[in-house]
């Protein structure tokens, strides 16, 4: 029987999460848009790159630390913003923030989190970033910036690839709503997952804690996720709006959702310090490239003047090494840690971190590198020719 202690890799955590979550919750984590080609490609694309190790080098001590967004992290990966952690475990975002602090890496709280940014600031003494969208209520965006300053957040992240929700057909098939509700269609799945259902009944509070005081659409009852997103997100947002937030914040600033060199250059021009090369986990537009395939062209375009974070598809330590060799400054993880959260709360997230850290340290030794800054382009090539 698969248990948390027997999980050897992220795939095992995914299998355990599938066993522990009602069907709609699991597929909300696991799914993507349309035919899910981009979703699959995010991870499969790493297979197109091969590592070229160097031998007879001293590798007795391995240092996986990096500096990103002005903070020293013990590992080159951190938590990407993902919404509504309460769907997956009753300890919500708090469990993830505590796990990130324990491993001395950065935690990112989503606008659509089920815990307030102030509560996370109190729960974790580790580095923190808040992720924002520019919603129809523009004053709310301004309020987020001021609240993050007051709560001493270290960085701000603006997600730009959601003018409206992608076509996430799995959520329609499973009847996914927020907050979750018991229906004739879903009751069997809830009954066969008693641990999750019991804790949902015991801790029924489900609210988007950072926006509920201004945008209480859920107060009207359960609604489809796509309907909610489309009711709140603003399709008129421009680069000028992003530049205004960069100026208002005045600190480390990430723009998430960039896939082209042109947009990366524009992000640098408006004052962003970092970008997340991301396709939203394959959940927005199907048929766009995997982030790892966009990395080299973006690095060539921006040089060293912009921190690059690869977001999407990370499942192995070797994936992290390939991203770093191709020019990334760090990677972020979303689905991987959500599988851990669903599988075992804070301990499950810690298991995610430990698995990746163990793989990373072992693979660096096998690769012939002791420190992250030693990992350069000469250590990786594409299967069908040099990069």
pLDDT at 175: 81
The crossing angle, in degrees rounded to 10, of helices 10-20 and 335-367 is 160
Lowest mean pLDDT segment, chosen from 59-73, 226-240, 325-339, 372-386: 226-240
Cβ-in-10-Å burial (0-12, 13-18, 19+) of 37 comes to middle
Q: Is 385 exposed, middle or buried (0-12, 13-18, 19+ CB in 10 A)?
A: exposed
Residue 16 to residues 173, 180, 256, 332, 342, Cα–Cα distance (Å): 22, 21, 29, 22, 8
Structure tokens at 146: 């001021």
pLDDT tens for 279-297 read 999 999 999 999 999 999 9
pTM score over 0.85: yes
**pLDDT value at position 232?**
72
Q: What is the pLDDT of residues 256-275, one digit of tens each?
A: 999 999 999 999 999 999 99
As given in the structure block, the two tokens for residue 267 are 């992000």
What is the structure's pLDDT at 181? 65
Above 80 in pLDDT, residue 331? yes
Q: Which of 36-40, 135-139, 311-315, 349-353 has the lowest mean pLDDT?
A: 135-139
R_g over Cα of the chain: 20
Cα 283 versus chain centre, distance: 12
Report residue 385's pLDDT band, with 50, 70 and 90 as the boundaries: low
d(CA 352, CA 136): 36
Q: Give the pLDDT of residue 202.
A: 77
Indicate the SS3 state at residue 49: strand
Model confidence at 387: pLDDT above 50: no
Average pLDDT over residues 178-190: 66
Contact 36, 69 (CB under 8 A): no
Q: Is the dihedral of CA 278, 283, 287, 292 positive or negative?
A: positive
Spatial contact of 127 and 225, defined as CB atoms under 8 Å apart: no
Query: Domain spanning 4-48+66-359 has what CATH number?
Result: 3.20.20.70
Convert 198-259 into a string of H (helix), E (strand) and C (coil): HHHHHCCCCCCCCCCCCCCHHHHCCEEHHHHHHHHECCCCCHHHHHHHHHHHCCCEEEEEEC
Residues that are catalytic: 280
d(CA 386, CA 326): 12
203 confidence band (pLDDT: 50, 70, 90): confident
């Amino acid at each position: 029987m698969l248990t948390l202690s027997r999980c050897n890799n992220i795939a095992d955590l995914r299998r355990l999460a599938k066993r522990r979550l009602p069907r709609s919750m699991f597929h909300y984590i696991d799914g993507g848009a349309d035919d899910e080609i981009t979703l699959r490609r995010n991870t499969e694309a790493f297979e197109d790159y091969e590592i070229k190790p160097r031998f007879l080098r001293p590798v007795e001590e391995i240092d996986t630390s990096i500096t990103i967004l002005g903070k020293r992290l013990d590992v080159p990966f951190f938590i990407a913003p993902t919404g509504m952690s309460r769907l997956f475990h009753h300890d919500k975002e708090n469990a993830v923030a505590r796990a990130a602090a324990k491993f001395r890496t950065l935690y990112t709280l989503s606008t659509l989190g089920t815990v307030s940014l102030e509560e996370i600031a109190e729960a974790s003494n580790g580095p923190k970033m808040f992720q924002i969208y520019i919603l129809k209520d523009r004053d709310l965006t301004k309020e987020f910036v001021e609240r993050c300053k007051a709560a001493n957040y270290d960085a701000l992240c603006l997600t730009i690839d959601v003018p409206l929700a992608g076509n996430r057909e799995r959520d329609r098939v499973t009847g996914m709503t927020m907050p979750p509700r018991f229906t004739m269609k879903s009751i069997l799945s809830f009954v066969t997952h008693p641990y999750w259902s019991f804790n949902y009944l015991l801790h029924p509070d489900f609210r988007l804690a950072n926006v509920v005081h201004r945008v209480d659409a859920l107060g009207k009852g359960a609604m489809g996720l796509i309907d909610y997103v489309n009711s709140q997100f603003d399709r008129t947002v421009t680069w000028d709006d992003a530049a205004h937030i960069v100026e208002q914040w005045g600190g480390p600033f990430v723009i998430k959702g960039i896939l082209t060199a042109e947009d990366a250059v524009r992000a640098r021009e408006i004052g962003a310090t970092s970008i997340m090369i991301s396709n939203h986990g394959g959940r927005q537009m199907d048929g766009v490239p995997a982030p790892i395939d966009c990395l080299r062209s973006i690095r060539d375009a921006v040089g060293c003047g912009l921190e690059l974070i690869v977001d999407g598809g990370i499942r192995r330590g070797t994936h992290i090494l390939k991203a770093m060799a191709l020019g990334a400054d760090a990677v972020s993880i979303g689905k991987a840690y959500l599988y851990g959260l669903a599988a075992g709360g804070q301990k499950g997230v810690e298991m995610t971190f430990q698995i990746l850290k163990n793989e990373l340290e072992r693979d660096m030794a096998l690769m012939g590198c002791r420190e992250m800054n030693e990992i350069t382009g000469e250590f990786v090539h594409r299967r069908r020719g040099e990069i």
